[in-house]
Structure 1
Amino acid sequence: MAQSVLDAGWGMFRTMLRYKCDDAGVWFEQINEAYSTQTCSCCQSRTGPKGVAGLGIREWACEVCGAYHHRDINAAINILAVGRGRLAGGIPALSA
């Protein structure tokens, strides 16, 4: 039950954020965060800890390039890169 409450909380937060962005005329788009903790932010290879057992591993080294990552910081860098990549593609015009 706790998971469904948590999901409902994030869903409500996204709804409010989308509403506020629409009201302010700001572009809002969700980014899929899947595999952001497993993907190396340096070489983009997916070599990080996997599965439920890997959730307890907070720091890891990439097997391909050898970069050392903290799980949460690495995920934040990957999500930021996706957002910036979408911005570089251009912001679509808002329809009135």
Structure 2
Amino acid sequence: MANIDFTRIEKDISDLAKKLFKDFVNQAKADGKQFVGDHKEAFVRRTEQFKNGEISETNYKNGLLNLLALAKMERLKQEGLAQIEIDKFTGGVIDILIDAGLRAIP
């Protein structure tokens, strides 16, 4: 099994939240953590498929990018933040997941 560092993922999401939403850090961190939790199984499965050579790197990244459509980010929406800012954060979370998955594969 790929050794995915979920502690680092949470830290990277926290850093991203601080960078993009200085006034809404807690909401962004909570949304990011919930997103990872909601999609952890799919993320681990795709990472294992890539590690085992069942899918290409392009298919791996595209599969994770498809998770963008599932992102809700409810706490940030409740704060009335513009969708474009929420999309930047969500895209950043996906990038963090892709990087973490690639790091987990020797």
TM-score range, shorter chain: 0.3 to 0.5
Give the TM-score normalised by structure 2: 0.32
Higher radius of gyration, 1 or 2: 1
TM-score by length of 1: 0.34
Pick 1 or 2: higher relative contact order, CA cutoff 8 A, min separation 6. Answer: 2
Q: Which has the higher helix share?
A: 2
